[in-house]
Amino acid sequence: MPFWLRGRGMAKKRAKQRRRTAVRKTVHKTVHKTVRKAVRKTAVKAARSAPRPQARAVEAALAGVAHEIRTPLTGILALAELLAASDLGERERQWADAIKSGAEHLSAMTTLIVDAAKADATRLTLQHEPFSPRRLTEAVGRALKARADTKGLTAEVVIARDLPAMVRGDELRLRAALENLVDNAVKFTEKGSVSLTAGAERAGQRVRLVFTVTDSGAGLSKQDIARLFRPFRQGSEEIARRYGGSGLGLVFVKRVARAMAGGLAVTGTPGRGSTFRLTVSAAPVEGRVPSGDGLRVPGRSLRILCAEDNPYGRVVMNTILTELGHRADFVDDGEAAVSAVAGGSYDVVLMDVTLPLVDGLEATRRIRTLPGSAAQTPIVGVSGRTEPGDEAAARAAGMNFYFTKPVSPARLVDALSKFQRGDRG
């Protein structure tokens, strides 16, 4: 081959190699730049979504406030339940029921406040405990009727017959969501009626609970509805001025619905009322609904140690346990609880999780290491906090049961009856 042709071929080959090298460099540079940009963007997003120290401090403070509020609420709820179960006239029993309903409503509001502080979280961590949808609806319905009566409104509660007897889910947050919806229905209705209906739909192996709250009040336009689910916003400026409120309630309700694999739908017409349809998914569970007829359960009297640092809480718990036929001793910190169990012969320990010196969880761990039968003493944990993982931590520490305040006498009776029969949970 002529030299000049061979030289041209080599030149073409080198040019082709240079082009390939340039393309590889360009691709490498582009990919590297894209990856760096993506990493930087992800890091910025993560930093923005990560809880800031101030946010965590606020959340912790609100959780502490909620705990302090729930302790006296337990007393109010318990005494109201004891009153309602005693020999009262019909009017007095209605008063006791109204007190109980108010305490339950305040408890639901403390849950809303703490959850609102977590507004930046992607999801709620829910409790999964058995509860009766019918009992839940009846309780919310009583609250609805009580509030409607104060404004001269007609209230109706309709519960479908096919509602499952028991399901597993987060009753506390579901109740808080329903309380918010019925509270709004009454607040925004000046005359006419409000209603609550509860039904169920099959969804494979699960069940979809459907709650509908309807009112004949101010109503909502499409523009109002679009603004409803923005934090600290209400349907309109006029509504905010006239009725007040934080604008957090419906944001919370929608988050609860989504966390429970459901949703919240709204329809309305200005001047003709609104309808809110809340759906949640739950798993049916076997079991009967507690009768609630009376509080005393046949069985032997128990000797109970109560670890409670709140003086009001001690007085109330002593009243409840005495009324139920049990004997109670009290200590006000975790160290004293461990010493009392080691030196005494108790059938059950009621352990407040938040205690001075040594908290309830550490006290439980120490009790489980005591020699002899003292280490097997049943322990019921009680807490005013509702943080994710609280119950799991209590169980891991060695608690047999775990209740969130306010604890009703009926739930306490149910737990103590198991120990009367020798069942340790």
For the sheet containing 303-307, what is the strand order? 327-331, 303-307, 348-352, 379-383, 401-404
Q: What is the pLDDT of residue 315?
A: 77
- For 267-299, give the secondary structure using H, E and C: EEECCCEEEEEEEEEEEECCCCCCCCCCCCCCC
Can you tell me whether residue 402 is helix, strand or coil?
strand
pLDDT tens column, 372-391: 999 999 999 988 776 767 88
Check: CB of residue 186 under 8 Å from CB of residue 218: no
DSSP per-residue letters across 213-252: EEE-SS---HHHHHHTTSTT--S-HHHHHHH---S-HHHH
267: left (phi over 0), alpha (psi -120 to 50) or beta: beta
Distance CA 98, CA 142 (A): 8
Residues near 327 by beta carbon (within 8 Å), at least 6 away in sequence: 301, 302, 303, 304, 321
121-290 belongs to which CATH class?
A: alpha beta
Task: Tell me if the domain spanning 303-420 has CATH number 3.40.50.2300.
Answer: yes
Per-residue tokens: 336? 């004293």
Taking alpha carbons only, the member of 225, 248, 18, 238 closest to residue 119 is 248
Q: Phi then psi for 206, rounded to 5 degrees?
A: -110, 180
- Contact call for residues 185 and 217 (beta carbons, < 8 A): yes
Determine the 3-state secondary structure of 195 from DSSP.
strand
Cis peptide before 406 (omega within 30 of 0): yes
| 3-class SS of residue 20 | helix
SS3 47: helix
Is the separation of the CB atoms in 194 and 141 below 8 Å?
Answer: no
| Residue spans of alpha helices (H) in 85-229 | 90-116, 133-150, 171-187, 222-227
Question: For residue 181, which phi and psi values (nearest 5 degrees)?
Answer: -65, -45
Token pair, residue 167, equals 């399901």
Query: Which residue is associated with the tokens 């988050």?
Result: 255
Q: What is the pLDDT of residue 371?
A: 92
Domain extent listing, the chain = 121-290, 303-420
User: Minimal CA–CA distance to 212: which of 276, 134, 141?
Assistant: 276
Neighbouring CB atoms inside 10 A of 261's CB total 14
Question: How many residues are present in the chain?
Answer: 425
Intervals of the chain under pLDDT 70: 1-68, 70-71, 105, 108-109, 111-125, 229-249, 287-299, 386, 388, 421-425
pLDDT tens profile 169-185: 888 789 888 988 998 88
